[in-house]
Amino acid sequence: MQIDPSEIIAGYRQGYFLMDNGNGLGWYSSHHRAIMPIDDRFRFPKSLRRSLNQNRFTTAINRDFLGVVDGCAHRESTWISDELKAIYQMLYRAGWAYSFETWQGDQLAGGILGLATGGAFIGESMFFNISEGSKVAMVMLVNHLRSQQFTLFDVQIMNPHLQRFGAYTISETEYQQRLQAAVQLQRNFQPCS
């Protein structure tokens, strides 16, 4: 069966996201959607300032997309199945999926996997190989989304790690309003070089 990337993106644009719960791939939603603020409500642990000030990491977009997908999936318990990996790769080739990466020299330190549609960035997962690699990626990704004038950073489901950065939950009604406004915008995640 051939999957059309635009059909997958249409599901995300309606507020759904894909996961494999162990019984196969399916569409999910949340009554309380977690949002990462892009405005001045975004914060990060003070302990991270040293790494940011020392410029220990450089950032890149899609330098190693497959490495980020594999890093996000490489867990004891993962919802990123081989089928979902293939869908992310298809969305990447179609220009919808991105990896926002931190590097230390030639080593992939961490990254965030997500989808961009209009002015919405939908964060799917994150990982690190080097301590603070994913945390620095989060700070730099928020700066990047600001510079590209995105209006929504959807992180789907709240967890304590995201909460440390200022993530908060909103109702399904508010989420739908914000999502529909964001997807109507003309934004480019990856700046033209």
CA neighbor of 45 nearest in space, from 114, 120, 124, 131: 131
Average pLDDT over residues 73-84: 84
Domains with residue ranges and CATH for the chain: 5-183 (3.40.630.70)
Distance of CA 106 to the CA centre of its chain: 22
CA-wise closest residue to 121 among 6, 38, 193: 38
CA atoms within 13 A on the CB side of 72: 27
Whole-number pLDDT of residue 152 = 98
pLDDT band at 2 (very low <50, low <70, confident <90, very high): low
pLDDT of residue 52: 86
Q: How far apart are CA 118 and CA 97, in angstroms?
A: 12
Quote the CA–CA distance of 8 and 13 in Å, as a whole number: 9
Output the six-digit token pair for 87. 């869908």
> Which percentage of the chain shows pLDDT scores above 70?
98
Residue bearing tokens 């590209």: 148
Residue that wins the pLDDT comparison between 129 and 22: 129
Tokens of 53: 């000030």
- CA 114 to CA 102: how far, in whole Å? 15
**pLDDT for the residue 193:** 53
List the end-to-end C-alpha distance of the chain, in Å, as a whole number: 36
DSSP string of 95-142, one letter each residue = T-EEEEEEEETTEEEEEEEEEEETTEEEEEEEEESSTTHHHHHHHHHH
Per-residue pLDDT reduced to its tens digit, 93-127: 999 999 999 999 999 999 999 999 999 999 999 99
Mean of pLDDT values over 32-60 = 90
Rounded percentage of the chain residues whose pLDDT exceeds 90: 76
pTM confidence score: 0.93
User: What distances in angstroms separate CA 8 from CA 14, 84, 141, 157, one per listed residue?
Assistant: 10, 11, 23, 19
Best CA proximity match to 65, nearest among 115, 100, 19: 100
